[in-house]
Amino acid sequence: MNLLVIGTGYVGLTTAVSFAMQGHHVTGIDVIEEKVKLLQQGKSPIYEPGLEPELQRALTKETLAFSTSMAEHVGEADVIYLCVGTPSGSDGFADLRYLEQAVETLRTFVQASEREHVVVIKSTVPVGTSDRIAAIFAEDKHVHVVTNPEFLREGRALQDSLEPSRIVIGADRKEAIAIMDQLYAKITAPRVYTTRTNAEMIKYASNAFLATRISFMNELARLCHTLGADIEVVAEGMGLDSRIGPEFLGAGVGYGGSCFPKDTEALIQLARRHQSSLSLLETVRDVNRSQVDWFVERMVETIQGVRQKRIALLGLSFKPETDDIREAPSLTLIERLQKEGAILTAFDPIASLHVKQLYPNLSYVSSPYDALKNADAAILVTEWKECVQLDWQRVKQQMAQPVLFDGRNAWPAGFLKENGFTYLGVGRHA
């Protein structure tokens, strides 16, 4: 099939590459000329494991191309994916201006085409948005509007595209469902056929529920810290219950990224607009916002303040295997520690350049050991393997003081304490 993917961010580019890998002919559209030129050269503007080699392979096979011109490619497209950004607006609600602009431009071109098109909303949008877009195309009988939300995990996005946990298709026409089934013919996964409204809610509800699990464990970790319990053991015992499961039970310095903070806030604001309340999610959001502050307060208690102390930050991206720093806890840590007067040195295998644009006065180094040299304390912010799998004897030799603050509960707490380190995790008492 011929696909047009409008928007080449994390979702759009991964979607384009994964469908090209399945043998479809895909054209990615973006308004940023520099990005399109980079993609045409086989260079990915984002870091995602396996993405760039597959991008290059698809370009060589000519199953994938990129352009800035929507007009040149709409007429030949069977399926048109809308993957533009829907960031949080100043009111916390999803900002749909980029999506609306894309829809307005797209309608001009599909009206001039006699070909049957399926317009797929892949962007995360407030409930009811896809129906409003469908109403815009209502007079164009050869255009079907489908909601097909993404459930990609950054760091595993390409794998999740090829081996999804489920495929959700929101549509009101059998013709559209048949085309979507043909599109996904090579993918084996449970399929949910439903309304566009339900599909939109499934996306928001999924992210909000996962965020809830994280904030629950973080709040429980605070209590464990006070009571002398160990949140890691508690999580293990909880996760063995099949009704709960082990996923997303890790305590830490909070969640970040492009989805959980934005989508949780958008769902809260959507409820408010409809005179409803999601008080549980409001608490989830507030716990997450305060988690870094709670962690820093425990640090300050441990080493009697951080002013003029050299602190190594290990990891800057919001999670491993991505260069995404949107809503990353590292940014809040940097703000708080700089305010407290700490001297910061940072290491991240991928994301340092992005953070440097925001905080150019930090010292950025190329290895975790360079960050740890003469440090009075170190903080594990992101559990990259480079930051977790360390030579602890070398670490102890290089640090001015062997003080470790484990913001992801990924370091071997018992071993470190036995070997002379001062160790503080998130609700751990190993």
Catalytically active residues, by annotation: 259
Contact of 393 with 366, CB cutoff 8 Å:
no
Task: Tell me which DSSP letter residue 65 carries.
Answer: E
Concatenated DSSP letters of 203-265: HHHHHHHHHHHHHHHHHHHHHHHHHT--HHHHHHHHHTSTTT-STT---SS---SSSHHHHHH
Residue 380 CB partners (closer than 8 Å, separation 6+) = 314, 315, 387, 388, 404, 405, 406, 407, 408, 410, 411
Locate 332 and state its tokens.
Answer: 């809040």
Concatenated DSSP letters of 75-109: TT-SEEEE-----B-TTSSB--HHHHHHHHHHHHH
Residue 115 CB partners (closer than 8 Å, separation 6+) = 75, 76, 77, 78, 142
Scored b (16 or more CB within 10 A) or e, 207-246 reads: bbebbbbbbbbbbbbbebbeeebbbbebbeebeeeeeeee
Stated as kind and residue range, the H or E segment containing 146 is strand 143-147
What gap in Å lies between CA 316 and CA 207, rounded to an integer?
Answer: 22
Contact of 114 with 173, CB cutoff 8 Å:
no
What gap in Å lies between CA 314 and CA 371, rounded to an integer?
Answer: 8
What gap in Å lies between CA 73 and CA 70, rounded to an integer?
Answer: 6
